[in-house]
Structure 1
Amino acid sequence: MSKIITEDRFRVIASEGLGRVSNATAHSMAWFRGQLYIGTSCGNVSGSADTPRIMRFHADSGEWETVYESPLVPVNKRSHAPDRQLVKHVKGIDLDRYQQRRGVSTDVIPRDAGFRSMCLFQGRSDPEPALYVSSMSRYGGQILRTLDGESFEPVGEPGLGNPDIYSFRGLTVLGDRLFTSPAGTTTDEWLDRNLAPEMRVYVTDDPVKGTWEIASEEGFGDPANMAIYALCTAHGMVYGGTANPERGMQIWRTRAEGKPPFVWEPVVMDGAGAFNHNLAVSAMCEFKGDLYIGGGITGLGYDTVHDIGPASAEVIRIHPDKSWDLIAGRMRFTPDGLKVPLSLLGPGLGDFYNSVVWALGVHDGAIYLGTHQWESFRSIEIDAPEIVGGYQLWASEDGENWELVIDDGHGNPAELGIRTLASTPLGLFVGTHNHKRLLQMIGRRKQAKMDFNGGFEVLLGK
């Protein structure tokens, strides 16, 4: 009997951003003290109505409780500095006028745009395992901590001392150490949500004291690495995946022995032979002793800043001895020999519009994969009679034979991506990303019909 959860066994337990449709993303999840916590995010916070939250799910009643809200802070130059990627995607749209039509407050704004990563960790000063949460903020990303799930306090300075750091990715534990890497740059002139001012991994054994040490060379020693996109533990090591617009993603690993900075070794280079069409590592997960990695070009499969693409997502698998397999993608010759996709699925798992694998997770003996799928934007661009598209959820029991579980955003083409997956005693939770606001901004010029919901959803499968 298959262990894969079929679509009919998933139900929606949260929709329309849980009352805040501008909260487009269920960005992070963690199972803590017997309950599910999620961190929400808003792509363009403009006022108090957009305030991101950390929320807790009560399974017995089916209710959601807000346990933390971003504080409001005075607006300054950074508050509305243009987003480098967004501005290029929505040419001709006056974002300031769009905000004014929504009645946006100009005096105060949520400090945080959302909560990107969650992790359970017990540091030297923690009496018990605590939940650590990284925020996204134009004022410098912070790391929050809670012991009871009720009271959240920042540990360390904004940006860990560099307020130009927008956020921190991939809170990851190996032994008695917590690892993270900067994500995004925020300045008075512009915002880049992906590329950070520092391309390093940081480590601590006592986050409460706010002291972090550099755990890697800048960009793992390669100046072409523009960001460290993902961190994951596997094979008793920490793996780091980069974004590299010149030659494609790289994957490095370390045993983290001795004192930092640690010795890292290269595992896969040059976009796994696809070069910069595998621009960045977007997700990593260990399954049955191997590390599965999703790559591609974030956003709409085209990097507007570096003029790369279009391209679709790929999946590779790394063994402990550093050998690797192509699971889904384009067949090619590489320095490691001919690589044929073992799943017989091409780029995008057979769908050109799957730009990246955005989430990977394991539940009850199966691995699940969530995509970012942007066909709805193309539907508007070509004046299609109806808007189609939406995320896909795939699953496999052996890592090679995959089946499509959910297609077309579960019936909503604005549900572009699966942002997070969480395996819990209650079942598999799926957190989505909804792009209705941006679709409306683009589609208004073409009078596109958009009779579907905005705001993230959370699904539970069991």
Structure 2
Amino acid sequence: MDSGIQGYSTRYMVEHKGKLYMGALPLTGLANFQLYCSSDPEREGWQLVDVNGHPDKNPRGNLDLLLSYNNHLYVGTGLPTGFEIWRTRGDEPVKDNWKLVVDKGAGDARNEHPWALAVFKDYIYIGTAIEAAVLSLNPDQRIVPPKGFDVIRIDRHDNWELVVGGIPVVPTQPTTGTRGLPLSGFPSGFGNISNAYCWQLQAQGDELYLGTFSWSVLIPYFIPLLPEILRELLAINTKGYQQALLEYWKYITQVDPLFAQLPIEEILQRIAEFLLRIGRKTLGFDLWKTRDGIHWEPVSLNGLGNIHNYGVRMLFLSQDCDLYLGTANPFDGLEVWVKPWRHFAPPCC
């Protein structure tokens, strides 16, 4: 059956007031906000929610997040000017009856995507991301420098505050609040620029877990490719750039004359192998937890002992309150971990 849905993927589905809601996303880049709902997807199909009203009273951008909370439907959208969070003013989505809760990337336009959320102790926690660490939704600037993710939280009265985050890369002036100092004291990405995504947030009992995507383990594998990359760069850049590279190479060979006797490909391969050896404690995703949403401690900083686990792709709480963690690992396949619930403790959900 043709669903009539215009899109290539969805990141979130949520049940709200007896209906199932889903966001549709483009294959890449920026698209119109597309929210679908259904009372019975199998028999009735999907209906597009109408938001074609006043631009300041309806969500816009890529629909990345959905949440049913406090008798409202919340949506998180990706925009090149920074992510936004909206909620319905009433129980259900109605055109021109939405409230903007967070705008302009919570003070940093580089926070383009809200890609993780969890409700924990009466706050909504939102984690940000840049797609593939460097891909922007801005059609005029598709590649941007990487930065670590930020985390904010929203209370029941729609006030937001920064939990994790540093000096903004592209400062903005949100209309919904003011970016202050991070409550946790941690800068973006917990101080690690390779933590490009806050990929998962999930509460288990009185603890909130946060899993990242980190591109740090990819660095050693790209280093041997540098000669080819540099040749491409040298072919399109100016003489000044070429000269700067040559002078830097001259400096390297003066520091260690051994380098001058080896092919550059062998030197780079040795550097890559060295980084892999010394990175066993720090390469791979991060997993953090908190009991109050402010004070965080690391559970793992090296992909739970496997540096090839470069992302926490899923944190899932079962009906028995066991917490399952699924990894993203393009090198040797995924792993699934479980943190059993303390069965002598009261129910967690």
Q: Is the 8 A contact 1:166 1:184 kept in 2?
A: yes
Q: Summarize the Cα distance change of 1:241–1:219 in structure 2 as closer, same or farther, 3 Å threshold.
A: farther
CA RMSD of aligned residues (A): 2.6
- Unaligned stretches of 5+ residues in structure 2: 224-267, 341-349
Q: Is the 8 A contact 2:8 2:25 kept in 1?
A: yes
The residue number in structure 1 matching 2:158 is: 322
1:161-310 aligned within 5 A: 161-162=4-5, 165-185=7-27, 192=28, 195=29, 198-217=32-51, 221=55, 225-245=60-80, 247-255=81-89, 257=91, 260-261=94-95, 263-275=97-109, 277-303=110-136, 306-310=142-146
1:79-118 aligned within 5 A: none
- What secondary structure is seen at the aligned counterpart in 1 of 2:166? coil
Q: Provide the C-alpha distance between the structure 2 equivalents of 1:281 and 1:238, rounded to a whole number of angstroms.
A: 16
Q: Is the 8 A contact 1:392 1:409 kept in 2?
A: yes
Q: Summarize the Cα distance change of 1:259–1:239 in structure 2 as closer, same or farther, 3 Å threshold.
A: closer
- What secondary structure is seen at the aligned counterpart in 2 of 1:165? coil
| In the alignment, structure 1 residue 460 sits paired with structure 2 residue 343 | no
* Runs of 4+ displaced beyond 3 Å: 195-198, 218-226, 255-262, 301-305, 331-335
Structure with bigger helix share is: 2
| In the alignment, structure 1 residue 359 sits paired with structure 2 residue 194 | no
1:403-414 aligned within 5 A: 403-414=297-308
Question: What is the count of residue pairs matched by the alignment?
Answer: 277
Q: Summarize the Cα distance change of 1:348–1:361 in structure 2 as closer, same or farther, 3 Å threshold.
A: same
Provide TM-score, normalisation by structure 2: 0.72
Cα drift, residue 165 of structure 1: 1.9
Q: Summarize the Cα distance change of 1:414–1:353 in structure 2 as closer, same or farther, 3 Å threshold.
A: same
Q: Summarize the Cα distance change of 1:314–1:161 in structure 2 as closer, same or farther, 3 Å threshold.
A: same
Report the AA paired with residue 373 of structure 1: S
Pick from 279, 293, 297 the counterpart of residue 399 of structure 1: 293
Q: Provide the C-alpha distance between the structure 1 equivalents of 2:144 and 2:14, rounded to a whole number of angstroms.
A: 30
Structure with bigger strand share is: 1
Q: Is the 8 A contact 1:219 1:228 kept in 2?
A: no
Report the AA paired with residue 337 of structure 2: L
Q: Provide the C-alpha distance between the structure 1 equivalents of 2:79 and 2:53, rounded to a whole number of angstroms.
A: 10
The percent of aligned pairs where both chains have the same amino acid is 29
Q: Summarize the Cα distance change of 1:328–1:220 in structure 2 as closer, same or farther, 3 Å threshold.
A: farther
With a CA cutoff of 8 Å and minimum separation of 6, indicate the structure with the bigger relative contact order: 1
The residue number in structure 2 matching 1:102 is: none
Q: Is the 8 A contact 1:236 1:255 kept in 2?
A: no
Q: Summarize the Cα distance change of 1:210–1:455 in structure 2 as closer, same or farther, 3 Å threshold.
A: farther
Cα drift, residue 218 of structure 1: 5.8
Q: Is the 8 A contact 2:59 2:98 kept in 1?
A: no
- What secondary structure is seen at the aligned counterpart in 1 of 2:105? helix
Provide TM-score, normalisation by structure 1: 0.55
Larger radius of gyration: 2
Q: Provide the C-alpha distance between the structure 1 equivalents of 2:16 and 2:66, rounded to a whole number of angstroms.
A: 11
